[in-house]
Chains A and B, each alone.
Chain A
Amino acid sequence: MRQPLKLLLVAAALTLVGAVDTVHGQDGLFESPDGPEAVKVYYTPDEALAKVYAKADTLWAEEWVPTPSERSELENRLGWVVADKSFVVHRGSHKGQDQGYAMILEEQGRFKPITFIVKLGTDLRVEMVLVMVYRESRGDGVKRQRFLKQFRDKDGSDHLRLNRDIVAVSGATMSSRALATGVKKALAILEMKYAPTGGGS
């Protein structure tokens, strides 16, 4: 009889600690606007490229500097201002056969940017998304494939709206949003550059 009571007391204590932490967090005592520094590197660029191009025997990178008209077209597709002057696309091939396209992107999370890689197949559909660097102490649930696999097979026609097309990780809405935004951006860029009807060169 005493054992369940002890368990109940421990659960109540844990809940109280969580409550106090949350209230203090809202007061900004434990979380500065700059955010807690907790950089977690899951993949270096080389490791990430090796993972997404597991079968490739040749890897190379291409830089795309869009012309003003291409930039305007890209902004129209995204409905969003594009600040980047150029984009680096990582390519791979296996025995001369194209293995698709990959981009390493950074998008702002709640406090700090999240670095991740988006790999598209030759059909310009998402094959893989990996979180490479997460810089905050909370919300790194977005690195899990349970969340990231939702992006698989999406293409430029998918809206990738949070909690409609992509279910956000609870407690990591901003990070989920950053990932969804980044994938959508990569799809638009790569589609524009490499789709047969795209305006890229």
Chain B
Amino acid sequence: MTGKQVKSGLRRSHRWVGAVAAVFILIAGVSGFLLQYPSWLGPPANPVLSVAADPFVSGRLLRGTHWGVEETTDSGLTWREVNMLAAPTDVARVIFSPDDPLIVHALGRHSLVSSRDGGRIWRDISISASGLPPNTTYLDLDVVPGGLLYLLTDGGLLVGANGGKSWEWQGFPDQGSSRDWRGLIHDLHTGQIMGATGRRITGIGALALLFITVTGLVLMRRNGKTFRQ
């Protein structure tokens, strides 16, 4: 194999790899741009995340969804949204109190709400404990007879007494797991790490990538060269 053949092979493979890379750039560019304008993609899906049966009323269930809490009175045939002024999102747990089934808790990603009349009128349960960061993610909840609430967060386990009026860490808060590296990488990709300016820069960057990719392909054709040459 001569040096000329090696060079030609290298050039050809360079172009093909470049063309394949362009596809990835296109995907990254388009998705990066669309991430800046989520409203263009329509409302997000509303997956069901949890369900709880009313121990008092046969056929009545409450379920937690991405958008809040929904209710059925016909064993799940039809559902309607439970009216709440500030509904929690990503409701991972709906739970009736074992002491008093009129008391219902719904645990969202960043808020805990509670009702004392079976789910008609709700209130926000303020969770304050020393060292609890404001951006804590709530993961799971359980209620034991006697009214104690066990709340699992991404920073550790909390125990709530008096219907959630006072909270304490069960053991020490787990500081190490509070770093959200996925979120950080997502924010880096979308430019949100630098706030509104970063998002604008990323949007412009995504458009620029699309522009250079498309114009590069057009210019390659115009110069009379194809991928095979």
The answer to whether A26 touches B85, judged by C-beta atoms less than 8 angstroms apart, is no
Q: Which of A43-51, A59-67, A127-135, A163-171 contacts B (4 or more CB under 8 A)?
A: A163-171
Contact of A14 among B89, B133, B194 (CB under 8 A): B194
Task: List residues of chain A with CB within 8 A of the CB of B68.
Answer: 161
Expressed in whole angstroms, the Cα–Cα distance for A141 and B123 within the complex equals: 27
- Contact of B43 with A by CB under 8 A: yes
Given contacts A22-B187, A170-B199, contact A76 B120 (CB under 8 A): yes
Interface 1/0s, chain B 184-226, versus A by CB < 8 A? 1001100011111011010000000000000000000000000
Task: List residues of chain A with CB within 8 A of the CB of B133.
Answer: 26, 28, 33
On chain A, which size bracket covers the interface? 35 or more
Q: How far is the CB of B130 from chain A (nearest CB, A)?
A: 9
- Contact of B132 with A by CB under 8 A: yes
The answer to whether A81 touches B134, judged by C-beta atoms less than 8 angstroms apart, is no
- Contact of B135 with A by CB under 8 A: yes
- Contact of A31 with B by CB under 8 A: yes
Q: How far is the CB of A140 from chain B (nearest CB, A)?
A: 11
Task: List residues of chain A with CB within 8 A of the CB of B187.
Answer: 22
Could you say which of A75, A79, A80, A163 has the most chain B C-beta atoms within 10 Å of its C-beta? Answer: A79
The answer to whether A23 touches B134, judged by C-beta atoms less than 8 angstroms apart, is no
- Contact of B86 with A by CB under 8 A: yes
Expressed in whole angstroms, the Cα–Cα distance for A78 and B188 within the complex equals: 38
Task: List residues of chain B with CB within 8 A of the CB of A28.
Answer: 131, 133
Interface 1/0s, chain B 56-95, versus A by CB < 8 A? 0000000000011000000000000111111101000000
Task: List residues of chain B with CB within 8 A of the CB of A33.
Answer: 128, 132-134
Q: How far is the CB of B82 from chain A (nearest CB, A)?
A: 7
A17 nearest in chain B by CB position: B194
**How many residues of chain B have a CB within 8 Å of chain A?**
39
- Contact of B39 with A by CB under 8 A: yes
The answer to whether A81 touches B123, judged by C-beta atoms less than 8 angstroms apart, is yes
- Contact of B179 with A by CB under 8 A: yes
- Contact of B50 with A by CB under 8 A: no
Interface 1/0s, chain A 11-50, versus B by CB < 8 A? 1001100110011001110010101000000000000000
Ordered nearest first, which 10 A-B pairs have the shortest CB separation? A79-B83, A80-B85, A18-B193, A81-B123, A78-B85, A79-B84, A18-B194, A181-B86, A167-B39, A75-B121
23 sampled A-B residue pairs with Cβ under 8 A: A19-B193, A22-B184, A23-B179, A27-B175, A27-B178, A27-B179, A28-B131, A28-B133, A33-B133, A76-B120, A76-B121, A77-B83, A78-B84, A79-B82, A79-B120, A80-B121, A138-B195, A161-B87, A164-B67, A167-B38, A170-B196, A177-B86, A185-B85
**A15-B188, A15-B194, A80-B84 given; 17 more Cβ-contact pairs under 8 Å:** A15-B193, A18-B198, A19-B184, A22-B184, A22-B187, A26-B135, A26-B179, A31-B134, A33-B128, A35-B134, A77-B83, A79-B82, A80-B85, A138-B195, A164-B43, A170-B192, A181-B86
B residues bordering A, Cβ < 8 Å?
38-39, 43-44, 67-68, 81-87, 89, 120-123, 128, 131-135, 175, 178-180, 184, 187-188, 192-196, 198-199, 201
